[in-house]
């Protein structure tokens, strides 16, 4: 009999499982949930506040199984990357980015991506499959275990923030992603505040509307171009949901939130493509026209093998930023982190075939036994 993997369940789903399959009271689910996510336990025998017969029964019908770690590597800037094996023989990547007291985990939602943005290496891998809930929350679980668990205040580097910015389009794997974000924010699990869980989307409008009605997390939208003509080329889903449609949906999402949160527009700076002052002017006009509460995050393009795009020169990025700042738009430039281990934005590849070729180039990568 196949055992049920409890790792991917929300607390509510675990309550259901415990009562339906084990005929146990709901508070048992909370105990198990805490053991899994706050103590990093994957063996029922370690759950010492459960009676022995219950532990034995659990071991028969259930398991706690995270993706297997194939590689773990540290960048010289402290960024850590994991390559994880997922069901079906593919591999995904997860990245942890320490920054002072903050520790941000960049989580993948799919193997590959079907949306094929022209400047994204994940997109260039094609699409393999949606990750299961256990494979998504398993990334947080593994990182938390490696750096210090939520219950341990002494943990040096906790996962304080999660960004759904790894491989894949999170809104195309909607339910598992939403369930896992609930667990990230659950005080009996990782207890991360809703402002510190960010979903990044390239603009799957119907799913964005659904998201706003079901959960409250911070939102980042991959814009990358100030007009439809250019965005159609860079982010092909724009042909289906254009900039006006996307801005309207983003506004609806913000309106549904209880506070004055703003959206972050991500804008990857591609040399000679979308980085000219006329683009900055157009972007400022677009934002002013719609009056949307936002920040702009400029991402220096991270090259990958086979791409023709180049990173915008630093002075060009700074001039673009100045232009937006003069229009009273809060604009930051994302620091490139972990590029020496191919862990920077848009460099995540993961799939088994590519990993073998790439593994030779990883710096300081160690095989984990």
Q: How far is the CB of 115 from ligand SAH (least distance, A)?
A: 7
Give the span between the Cα atoms of 72 and 133, in whole angstroms. Answer: 21
The yes-or-no answer on residue 214 being catalytic is no
Candidates 11, 90, 122, 128; binder of ligand SF4 (CB under 6 A) is 122
Extract the tokens encoding 268.
């990857």
Residue 299 interacting with ligand SAH (CB under 6 A): yes
Could you say which of ligand SF4, ligand SAH, none residue 299 binds, taking C-beta under 5 to 8 angstroms by partner kind? ligand SAH
Residue 169 interacting with ligand SF4 (CB under 6 A): yes
Could you say which of ligand SAH, ligand SF4, none residue 116 binds, taking C-beta under 5 to 8 angstroms by partner kind? ligand SF4
Give the span between the Cα atoms of 76 and 49, in whole angstroms. Answer: 42
Name the residue among 335, 312, 332, 313 with its Cα closest to residue 322: 332
How many residues belong to the chain? Answer: 369
* 98-120: burial string, b at 16+ Cβ within 10 Å, e else: beeeebbbbbbbbbbbebbbbbb
Q: 3-class SS at 96?
A: strand
Which one of the listed residues 24, 93, 169, 266 is annotated catalytic? 93
Q: Of 46-54, 118-126, 189-197, 283-291, which segment contacts ligand SF4 by CB under 6 A?
A: 118-126
Candidates 202, 250, 274, 312; binder of ligand SAH (CB under 6 A) is 202
Residue 123 interacting with ligand SF4 (CB under 6 A): yes
Q: 125: exposed, middle or buried (C-beta count within 10 Å: 0-12, 13-18, 19+)?
A: buried
The yes-or-no answer on residue 345 being catalytic is yes
Which helix (H) or strand (E) segment is 163 a member of?
Answer: strand 161-164
Q: In the beta sheet, which residues pair with residue 266?
A: 222, 297
Q: Of 13-21, 58-66, 82-90, 299-307, which segment contacts ligand SAH by CB under 6 A?
A: 299-307
Q: How far is the CB of 349 from ligand SAH (least distance, A)?
A: 11
Q: Which is nearer to ligand SAH, 120 or 207 (CB)?
A: 120
Enzyme catalytic residues? 93, 345
């Amino acid at each position: 009999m196949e055992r049920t993997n409890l790792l991917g369940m929300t607390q509510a789903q675990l309550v259901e499982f415990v009562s339906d399959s084990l005929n146990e009271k709901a508070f048992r689910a909370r105990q198990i949930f805490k053991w899994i996510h706050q103590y990093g336990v994957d063996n029922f025998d370690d759950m010492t506040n459960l009676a022995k017969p219950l532990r034995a029964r659990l071991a028969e019908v259930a398991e706690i199984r995270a993706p297997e770690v194939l590689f773990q590597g540290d960048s010289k800037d402290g960024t850590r990357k994991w390559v994880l094996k997922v069901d079906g023989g593919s591999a995904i990547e997860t990245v942890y980015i320490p920054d002072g007291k903050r520790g941000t985990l960049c989580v993948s939602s799919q193997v590959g991506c079907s949306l094929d943005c022209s400047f994204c290496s994940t997109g260039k891998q094609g699409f393999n499959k949606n990750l299961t809930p256990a494979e998504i929350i398993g990334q947080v679980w593994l990182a938390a275990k490696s750096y210090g668990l939520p219950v341990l205040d002494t943990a040096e580097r906790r996962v304080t923030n999660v960004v759904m910015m790894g491989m894949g389009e999170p809104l195309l794997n909607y339910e598992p992603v939403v369930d896992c974000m609930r667990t990230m924010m659950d005080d009996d699990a990782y207890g991360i505040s809703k402002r510190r869980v960010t979903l990044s989307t390239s603009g799957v409008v119907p799913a964005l509307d659904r998201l706003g009605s079901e959960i409250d997390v911070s939102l980042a939208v991959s814009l990358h171009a100030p007009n439809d003509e250019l965005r159609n080329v860079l982010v092909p889903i724009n042909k289906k949901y254009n900039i006006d449609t996307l801005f309207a949906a983003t506004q609806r999402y913000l309106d549904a939130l209880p506070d004055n949160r703003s959206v972050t527009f991500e804008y990857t700076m591609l040399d000679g493509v979308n980085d000219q002052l006329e683009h900055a002017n157009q972007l400022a006009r677009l934002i002013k026209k719609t009056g949307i509460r936002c920040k702009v995050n400029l991402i220096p393009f991270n090259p990958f093998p086979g791409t023709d795009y180049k990173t915008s020169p630093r002075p060009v990025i700074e001039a673009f930023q100045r232009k937006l700042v003069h229009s009273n738009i809060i604009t930051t430039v994302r620091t490139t982190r972990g590029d020496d281990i191919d862990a920077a934005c848009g460099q995540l590849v993961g799939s088994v075939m590519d990993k073998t070729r790439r593994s030779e180039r990883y710096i300081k990568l160690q095989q984990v036994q």
